[in-house]
């Protein structure tokens, strides 16, 4: 009897958890639409440039190449690719590579308008990839949590997300 009661309670818990997860996904989708409510139109499709830039990636260990172009509000563009290292923690992602280059060239926090990403797997197929957690943090911080991230699989097949949707509750340094 106890086992049956426990299973019933556990089943009820998982149904509620599933409901809450579904509700959170719906809320995240709604929030993304609100954040993009001004219907920001992509000023330029960067797919062809990203596809060429993928050839500069250095991914000898994973075979997963990533290219990124950071676009600033004043129109400046900064490019980056992932560069892997045998000492894995020293590897750099394409998004951070492009942003760090932009910072080195003098952009200020809040200057970033959009981040464009393309990726190719070890089989040579273009795949949709989104920024890792570390890249999301840097994008959020350097854009003042106000930019759009475009992830391409082709010139026509891409997603767009507000960084605030990709990284809710971002740590922006104001807490320090």
Q: What tens digit of pLDDT does each residue of 62-81 get?
A: 999 999 999 999 999 999 99
Instruction: Pick 47-166's CATH classification: 3.40.710.10, 3.40.50.300, 3.30.2230.10, 3.40.140.10.
Output: 3.40.140.10
Q: Is 95 in the active site?
A: yes
Q: Which of 49, 77, 84, 95 is catalytic?
A: 95
| 3-state DSSP of the chain | CHHHHHHHHHHHHHHHHHHHHHHHHHHHHHHHHHHCCCCCCCCCCCHHHHHHHHHHCECCCCCCEEEEEEEECCCCEEEEECECCCCHHHCECHHHHHHHHHHHCCCCCCCEEEEEEEEECCCCCEECCCCCHHHHHHHHHHCCCCCEEEEECCCCCEEEEEHHHHCCCCCCCCCC
Q: What tens digit of pLDDT does each residue of 90-132 get?
A: 999 999 999 999 999 999 999 999 999 999 999 999 999 999 9
Record the pTM: 0.79
């Amino acid at each position: 009897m106890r086992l049956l009661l426990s299973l019933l309670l556990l089943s009820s818990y998982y149904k509620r958890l599933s409901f809450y997860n579904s509700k959170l996904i719906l809320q995240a989708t709604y929030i993304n639409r609100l954040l993009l409510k001004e219907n920001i139109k992509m000023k330029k499709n960067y797919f062809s440039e990203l596809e060429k830039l993928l050839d500069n990636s250095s991914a000898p260990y994973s075979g997963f190449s990533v290219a990124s172009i950071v676009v600033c509000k004043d129109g400046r563009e900064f490019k980056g690719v992932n560069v892997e290292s045998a000492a894995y923690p020293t590897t750099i992602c394409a998004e951070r590579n492009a942003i760090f280059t932009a910072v080195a060239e003098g952009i200020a926090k809040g200057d970033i308008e959009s981040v464009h990403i393309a990726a190719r797997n070890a089989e040579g197929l273009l795949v949709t990839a989104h920024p890792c957690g570390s890249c999301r943090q840097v994008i959020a911080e350097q854009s003042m949590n106000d930019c759009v991230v475009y992830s391409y699989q082709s010139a026509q097949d891409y997603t767009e997300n507000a960084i605030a949707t990709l990284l809710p509750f971002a740590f922006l340094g104001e807490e320090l």
